[in-house]
Amino acid sequence: MDNVRTALILGPAISSRGGPPSLRVANIKVHASARAQTQRLSSCSWAVAGAAYGLHAAGAAGTRDVGNVKDSTRNCRASCSKALSICCVAGVAMRLSRVTGRRYPRHMRAIPCHASGQESSTGVQPPPERKKPKAKPMPQDTRVYPAKDLCSKCGFCNTSLVGKVQEACAFLGEGMAKIDRLEEKVHGRQRRLDVEDELYFGVAEAIRPIRVVAERRPSKRAWTGVITSIACEMLRSGRVDAVLCVASASPDKPMEPRPILARTVEEVLASGGVKPTLSPNIMPLELLFSEFGRDIKRLLFIGVGCQVQALRAVEADLGLESLYVLGTNCVDNPRDGEALQRFLRSASETPETATGFEFMQDNRIHVKHRDGRYERVPIFSLKDPHTCTGVIAKSCYSCHDYVNALTDLTVGYMAAPWEGGKMTEHAQYCVIRNQRGREMIDLLEGSGVLELGESAPEGGGFPRDGIIGGVLKPELDLAFGRRQPKEGPPRWLAEFLSDAITVLGPHGADFAKASIDRATLRNIVCARAEGQGDRIAILRPGEKTDG
């Protein structure tokens, strides 16, 4: 009873003082963050807050503190009854709000209370308790998703976050025009359209060649292991509690995806390598609302453009203290495992042993096999071009975020100088977009894991405009499902064409810009052909075009 009496005394005492800077009453003092928070409250709220605070303080201090407030009792009896009335009204209002769903008045709302009762080490209050959204996830075997044919199967609709699909999906509503607004939120500014590098690559502090030093490269990798190495070091250093990455579906299907929420370095290392199909990377976010992931407060997310855009739209709903986003460039994914195998049968002599492939700067498809050997197939000499119709997902024909503009750090290869040799030894390039991206790079550079060049080379050769027209027509034929020839040109001619374009065509950053131009023009034409001409302006971030 003494503790309750102390609480009722402290309530009006604080209220009558109007919220003193020290908030010192009966030898009880709160820290600065609570003081700053309470200075915004009205006088009625001071009474409610004081009663609650006094009850907690008296309970913690015991009866020895009760005597310290007897003098305050004589001066506060008049206001005590007022405070008690306010507390009662507030309690009734809170109870009614739970029953009716109506919000009680602002001055009667409870003060946020964190379990720790203390501010974080950074001086910022911890995030609110993570609450699972009430929406019901769509089943994984759903045939038609909200974006219909344009769905990239990112996994967002298979989580309880699905209630926000209209705002999150890269192919609904404002589409990829949302990137303009999100760039400012994520990076502190939008890309500068008068700077060519930012027009193409998005917000950039720096664009630099990158690779992992030979003796530190992970065994399972597509290139030199830049992304895998960053993810492992973020876990080792304690900067994150988990990494959302993509493992293989099975040992027999190394290129088919299985997104996971990795808690150990071993899990990350086992997930190395590119999975070149549509992947539901958002789906493991549902684990954050389960017992498995409830203690995850700092997360590294690895993904491509459409996935990252969905993530950024619901970032505030995940209850995370910090989120790092590491991404790759992405274009023209096979829609599923069956489409992937169709493409491999057309490109490789032994598709059953393929563990990875990439369209490289020498205008050849480099196919990596289990025994370590490589096939280098000219892009003009696929064995059965007609079998590749319908391989690429329709969402990829509507995507204008090849560069993954909303990551903190993007790693790709198109703007890296062509060196020849194996993919697993070849340099890539990175776009450092903000302080979090810089932190990830500094973490590895300081430990001697990374080799960083000064800047991505501009390249040379013929102007890139002259190359785009030559490759655009066959791309459009493939996109529109037009009948492809059963056989490509003779192999010697295909080799000659690949060599000639490699020598005479754009190099380095110009090669990447030519690739972006090609994909952009193709996708604009596809949108118009599909009757979506009026949507083109809202599908493209940055510089927009008329429908």
Find out whether 416 and 429 touch, Cβ atoms under 8 Å.
yes
Residue-level pLDDT at 387: 72
More confident position, 433 or 379 = 433
What pLDDT, on the 0 to 100 scale, is given for residue 257? Answer: 95
Task: Show the tokens assigned to 419.
Answer: 């060196």
pLDDT at 490: 85
Q: pLDDT at position 30, please?
A: 25
pLDDT digits (tens, 9 = 90+) for 229-255: 999 999 999 999 999 999 999 988 899
Contact status, residue 245 vs residue 231, Cβ threshold 8 Å:
yes
pLDDT, tens digit, 9 for 90 and up, residues 39-65 = 333 333 333 333 333 333 334 344 333
Structure tokens at 256: 């088919």
Tell whether the model's pLDDT for residue 455 goes beyond 80.
no
Residues 258-266, mean pLDDT to the nearest whole number? 96
- In this prediction, residue 448 carries a pLDDT of 87
Q: What is the mean pLDDT of residues 303-309?
A: 96
Helix (H, G, I), strand (E, B) or coil at 208: strand
Distance from C-alpha of 376 to C-alpha of 360, rounded to nearest angstrom: 9
Does 5 have pLDDT greater than 50?
no
pLDDT of residue 75: 43
Q: Is the Cβ–Cβ distance between 399 and 179 less than 8 Å?
A: no
What distance in Å separates the CA atoms of residue 111 and residue 427, rounded to the nearest whole number? Answer: 53
- Which of these, 373, 375, 395, 374, lies nearest to 383 by C-alpha position? 375
Q: What is the pLDDT of residue 377?
A: 92
Among residues of the chain, what percentage have pLDDT more than 90? 45
- H or E segment to which residue 52 belongs: helix 43-61
Span 30-41, pLDDT tens digits: 222 222 323 333
Output DSSP code: residue 434: S
Whole-angstrom distance, CA of residue 412 vs CA of residue 218 = 18
Using an 8 Å Cβ cutoff, are 92 and 256 in contact? no
**Tokens 């599923």 -> residue:** 336
pLDDT at residue 529 in the model: 76
Q: What average pLDDT does this structure show over 491-520?
A: 88
CA distances from 258 to 251, 339, 396 (A): 11, 17, 20
Cα–Cα dist 538/177, whole Å: 5
Residue 533 banded pLDDT, cuts 50, 70, 90 = low
pLDDT at 163: 95
Q: Note the Cα 42 to chain centre separation in Å.
A: 40
Residue 485 DSSP code: P
Q: Compute the distance between CA of residue 453 and CA of residue 445 in angstroms, rounded to an integer.
A: 11
Q: Reduced to 3 states, what is the DSSP secondary structure of residue 202?
A: coil
Place of tokens 């993954």: 404
> What pLDDT score was predicted for residue 535?
52
Q: Pick the more confident residue, 530 or 516.
A: 516
Give, in order, the Cα–Cα distances in Å from 117 to each of 112, 124, 126. Answer: 10, 12, 10
Beta pairing partners, 322: 298
- Per-residue buried b or exposed e for 457-477, using 16+ beta carbons within 10 Å of the residue's own CB: bebebeebeebbeebbeebbe
101 against 274, higher pLDDT: 274
What is the reported pLDDT for 401?
A: 93
pLDDT at position 60: 39
What confidence score (pLDDT) does residue 470 get?
61
Confidence of residue 545 (pLDDT cuts 50, 70, 90): very low
Count the residues in the chain: 547
pLDDT at 488 over 50: yes
Q: Tens of pLDDT along 138-180? A: 999 999 999 999 999 999 999 999 999 999 999 998 888 899 8
Phi, psi of 410 (to 5 degrees): -115, 135
- Mean local confidence (pLDDT), 329-343: 92
Better pLDDT: 309 or 40: 309
Which of 31 and 121 is assigned the larger pLDDT? 121
